[in-house]
Structure 1
């Protein structure tokens, strides 16, 4: 008697139905998938709506001089937010960026004004100050394995104290500095809009960093470390080396931000930029970069910085008290984090 072998035919009808069920998406889930794929989409939509709304409330909002002022105000925060973006992409946070930038600005100004050093060596001294600040944060995070939040909370106070001790609390005016150190405050006319050299420097940094993060192996490693450190380690990525490099690159960006800050205010003050640490985090979060790491783009950060500037300007022109401006920014942060949590649930 011959043994017959038979295979059970696949229930193709059932599989097709199951596939159709899994592939079925609601309009809301499609929106979530799009926002997951394009992190800068949500801040872009918010920015467009805000501009239209504030322009309708007060026509002066759309005047070239007001738009110019918003761009100039964004220059410093937008630069700091770049350094903050790198850290947050690795699932960390840096509470010391503003304090480190002010320290670097005082080093630049003090070395030039009080020691008679030319502008270029003074800028290099500021660059080393920024690198030292980044190296300290990176060392404590990678070697001592301390949480970035605690590390940068501590170095925030260290940098503030060092700045006051080094500068003796004195402000150095732009008239005491070489022209190169204040050139970032010079206006540039583009039609009816007047921006500054500092805005151009900030935009150049965004172009460079966008290319590095999107087109280089280092950029892919930054995203991998932020997405899953253990998986990145198993894939052969030196996690500590990537983290240290992130803080060092951030230190360089902070030094450039110090140069932009000196030109923006035409002075170097140890008491400047009290809210810059939180403003940089706000720009990054509103810009769609996930606080959990591994997702976000630098252009979203720029949009986030612009959103904060637009809201503050628009609410001011609407006649609302500055407290309502702060309230609006706080609401934006909570909404942005909530949207991020919702987007992270997307089915991969």
Structure 2
């Protein structure tokens, strides 16, 4: 029972550090912190939720532009107040704008609850951040004992599986595992001790996390990076312990207007529609995976339009399902970052001197 309690305390302490980093990030960037209690509508352009803001206990309606939020999370946001046509009230919170999302970072409810438990058991003052409606209670001695018995029973029932797992402490991680391990790096520059320290010489394995609304008709940017390079393990690492660098790609909204395309009816019931081609604006940030330290950051316009949309022959573009190239029905097609652009910006950190 003792090792379970110690493990829980270490986990709660890490959660408290993540919460402190989250609050610091919001304060530095002038963002407000809100608690998402429930989500009651999700649409193509965003989501509606009931939230609590500014440390107040009562709930308010909020609209998150271009973002799908989850109940039980904390979010650092840029918000304004306005009229809500669905509620008939003037105090609805609008997160972001029509042209760009307004969520700076998100902290999941489990981490926030663990941080609150750490504060209550360590005697530290509890932060003024809005807390969850029903934070989990500290484990009692009886619950810890029951969990210990359950673990023992499962171990005895599956000796072969246990032997297999112990022998593979360095098992391969899927993309989902890597995304989960490094999500906080892109959100608020938090590292993970499981990652590899920076080596003095390259190549240094790098993992890409993309947080944009761009719909790609071809392969993902991760696959393109691995395909363009002879060293797949550097550009598509499969283990958390191998990753040294994280490159975060986030969308900043619409860029400059490029051209207008008119799609004529094709006899299949499709109406005439017009699409504005615009340069998508993106931010690329490179972080050290172990510490979360930001090494470099730059804003750039994407150069790759889907389905060769810049050419005069737009048959493929107009014949594609509108939801593929224009998922939010805005009549706008944004360019995406190409693998070549990412290589140009981050190769120096992968193969060059230690950053």
What TM-score do the two structures reach when normalised by structure 2? Answer: 0.22
| Higher normalized contact order (CA 8 Å, seq sep 6+, divided by chain length) | 1
More strand per residue? 2
More helix per residue? 1
What TM-score do the two structures reach when normalised by structure 1? Answer: 0.22
